[in-house]
A and B are shown apart, each in its own frame.
Chain A
Amino acid sequence: MDSANLILGAMITPAMAYAGLAAAALPVLIHLFNRRRFRRIRWAATDFLLEAERRNRRRTRLEEMILIALRCLAMALLGAALARWYVQPRSLVAALGASARTDHIIVLDDSYSMSALREGHDVAAGSADPDASDDTTNRIFHEARSAARQIVDHIRQVAPEDAVTVILASRPDRPVRSVTSVGQVPEQTWADDINALQPSSRAGNMPAALEAVRKLLDTRESTVRAAVYVISDFQAIDWIPASSGGADVNASANAGNVPTGPATALAGWMQRDRSLQLVLVDVGRTITSNLSVVAVRPDQPQAVAGVVGRYHVTVTNYGTEASSPREMRIFMGDTALPPVTVPMIAPNASVDVPVELAFGQPGSQRLTVQFEPDALPVDNVRSRAVAVERALRLLIVNGEASPDPYQDEAFLLNVALRPEGPEFSGNEVVVINEDEFEVADLADYHAVLLLNVNRVTHEMAGRLEQYAAAGGGVAFFLGDQVDAAVYNRLLYRGGAGVLPIRLGDQLSAGTDQGGLQIIPDDEAEARGLRFGSAAALLLRDARVWQHFSTTADTDMGAQASAPAGSEGAPINDDAMTNGATTLPQSTPADRPSATVLLRLDDADRTPLLIERPFGRGHVLLFASSADKEWNNLPDQPVYVVLMLELIQRVARSSEAAQDQLVGEPIRLDVDPAAYSPSAMLRLPTYPDTPAVRLEVRPNGENGQVMLEWANADRPGLYQFDLRRLDGEEVTRQVAVNLDPREGDLRRADRSALLATMGNLPVSYVTGDTLAEQARAEARQELWPLLLGVLVFVLTLEQGLAWWFGADRSWQRALRWTAS
Chain B
Amino acid sequence: MADYKKYLDPEILSRISRLELRARRVVEGFVSGMHRSPYHGFSVEFAAHREYVPGDDIRHIDWRLYARGDRLYIKQYEEETNLRTTVLLDCSASMLYPEHDRRAGSGILSRAGRRPAWRNKYDYAATLAASLIYLLMHQQDACGLVLFDHEIREQVPPTSQTAQLRAMIDLIERRPPSGATDVKMTLTGLAERMRRRGLVVLISDLLTDPQDVISGLQQLKHRGQDLIVMHVLDEDELKFPFSDNTLFEGIEQPVHSLVDPQALRASYLEIVGAFISRIRSACMDHGIDYVLLSTADPLDAGLSAYLARRMHRTSRR
Contact = CB atoms under 8 A, between A and B. Distances in A.
Contact of A56 (B242, B250, B263, B277): B263
Interface stretch (A212-220, A418-426, A808-816): A808-816
A98 interface: no
Contact of B273 (A45, A55, A808, A813): A813
B267 A56 contact: yes
B255 interface: yes
Given A41-B248, A42-B251, A43-B249, A805 B262 contact: yes
B264 A56 contact: yes
Interface stretch (A46-54, A548-556, A578-586, A721-729): A46-54
Chain A residues touching B, majority SS: helix
A431 B262 CA distance: 133
Contacts of A48: 237, 268, 271-272, 275
Interface string B224-253: 000000000110010110101111111111
Interface residues of A, number: 36
A37 interface: yes
Contacts of A37: 245
A35 interface: yes
B252 A44 contact: yes
Contacts of A274: none
A45 B207 contact: yes
B266 A60 contact: no
28 contacts: A37-B245, A38-B244, A38-B258, A39-B106, A39-B244, A42-B98, A42-B248, A42-B249, A44-B93, A44-B94, A44-B121, A45-B97, A45-B207, A45-B237, A50-B255, A53-B257, A56-B263, A56-B264, A56-B267, A60-B260, A63-B263, A807-B265, A808-B266, A809-B266, A812-B266, A812-B270, A819-B277, A819-B280
A812 B95 CA distance: 25
Contacts of B252: 44, 46
A39 B97 contact: no
Given A39-B246, A813-B269, A813-B273, A50 B263 contact: no
B240 A40 contact: no
A406 interface: no
Given A49-B268, A53-B257, A44 B237 contact: yes
Given A38-B258, A39-B107, A805-B262, A52 B267 contact: yes
Nearest to B245: A38
Given A52-B271, A809-B269, A816-B276, A44 B234 contact: yes
A49 B237 CA distance: 10
A686 interface: no
Contact of A809 (B96, B107, B268): B268
Given A52-B271, A809-B269, 7 more contacts: A42-B249, A43-B97, A44-B207, A44-B237, A51-B271, A808-B265, A816-B277
B259 to A, nearest CB: 6
A48 B267 CA distance: 9
Contacts of B95: 44
Given A40-B247, A46-B250, A52 B242 contact: no
B257 A49 contact: yes
A666 B121 CA distance: 121
Interface of A: 34-35, 37-53, 55-56, 59-60, 63-64, 804-805, 807-809, 812-813, 815-817, 819
A46 B263 CA distance: 16
Given A34-B245, A44-B205, A53-B257, A816 B97 contact: no
Contact of A39 (B99, B245, B270): B245
B193 interface: no
B253 to A, nearest CB: 5
A49 B249 contact: no
A496 to B, nearest CB: 119
Contacts of A60: 259-260, 263-264
A344 B260 CA distance: 92
A197 B219 CA distance: 112
Nearest to A801: B262
A51 B257 CA distance: 11
Candidate in A34, A812, A819 with the most chain B CB atoms within 10 angstroms? A812
Interface string B168-208: 00000000000000000000000000000000000001010
B97 A44 contact: yes
Given A47-B207, A50-B255, A41 B242 contact: yes
A52 B268 contact: yes
Contacts of B305: none
Contacts of B312: none
A40 B249 contact: yes
